[in-house]
Amino acid sequence: MSLLIRRVTRFDPGSDTIRKVATIATYALLVNIFLLFVELFTTLYGGVPADVEHLRYLFLGIDGHHALVPWMWLSMALMAASAVALLIGRLRRREGVLALICGAIVVGVWIDKGLGLVIPGFIPSPLGEITEYAPTLPEALITTGIWAVGALVITLLYRMALAVKLER
């Protein structure tokens, strides 16, 4: 966000601020990846068949049902590539690369937590049935509306904060 503010306004948050936010993003992403591995380990080590089936559906697919498999692998690839890129200080200091990395983090975590957290809890069902999920038009419109309201609110808040900051 700081990179976007720097580009579209007269306010410069400073390179120090951007570096600190990049460091925080690095730690947060590494913790997220660690907790994902902990979740995988405890699920697979515990061996509860229902839990293992959910993970198997999510990462490998079950009996030809694999609608979420490419999404989850894309999420894992985005988060892993972002973590490696953030750990390389030379890449993290380049603003264009940093913006791309931050976008990849947002998309990767969004897929992981959005598709990978809620939906597989219902696939397969307790009776063992597999029903693929695809969002309906009302769900897509509601989601778009929520993102639009969030973008509007953050834009208004940043606009007010920048107006106050630039008056000084």
Q: What is the pLDDT of residues 147-162, one digit of tens each?
A: 899 989 988 888 887 7
**Residue ranges of domains in the chain:** 2-132, 135-168
Tell me: the pLDDT tens digits for 103-136?
899 889 888 887 777 777 777 777 777 777 777 8
CA distance linking residue 68 with residue 43, whole number of Å: 19
- Residue 1 pLDDT level (bands cut at 50, 70, 90): low
Residue 7, pLDDT > 80, answer: no
Contact assessment for residue 97 and residue 91, using Cβ atoms and an 8 Å cutoff: yes
Specify the pTM: 0.74
Assign 13 a pLDDT band (cuts: 50, 70, 90).
low
Give the number of other Cβ atoms within 10 Å of residue 23's Cβ: 12
Q: What tokens does 107 get?
A: 């998309």
Percent of the chain with pLDDT over 90: 18
Is 70 exceeded by the pLDDT of residue 5?
no
Gap between the Cα atoms of 9 and 28, Å rounded: 28
